[in-house]
Amino acid sequence: MTIGTPNQLGEFESELTASLFGVVPAVLIGGIGSIVIAVLWMKLFPELLHASKLGYSTD
């Protein structure tokens, strides 16, 4: 249940968006939304943008 439910919710969201706007606009909306979220995260958390490696800080 814990693995299948998020996948089913994702499929539902994708199908709902495609049925409301059409397939091509739904893909464009999803792609643009992903880019917007990535840029937003770069603005909100600039230290992640400038991190040279992932791991725990010794500070």
Query: According to the model, what pLDDT value does residue 29 have?
Result: 94
Q: Which residue has the tokens 């500070």?
A: 59
Query: According to the model, what pLDDT value does residue 57 have?
Result: 67
For residue 52, being part of any structural domain is answered with no
If the chain, 59 residues long, is cut into consecutive pieces of 10 residues, what is the mean pLDDT of each piece? 82 93 95 96 89 72
Query: Structural domain of residue 26, as residue ranges?
Result: 4-47
Query: According to the model, what pLDDT value does residue 59 have?
Result: 60
For residue 23, being part of any structural domain is answered with yes
CB 17 within 8 A of CB 30: yes
For residue 34, being part of any structural domain is answered with yes
Q: Within 10 A of 56 (CB to CB), how many other CB atoms are there?
A: 5
Instruction: Give the total number of structural domains in the chain.
Output: 1
DSSP of 2-32? TTHHHHHHHHHHHHHHHHHH-HHHHHHHHHH
For residue 53, being part of any structural domain is answered with no
Residue from 32, 31, 14 nearest 23 by CA: 14
For residue 30, being part of any structural domain is answered with yes
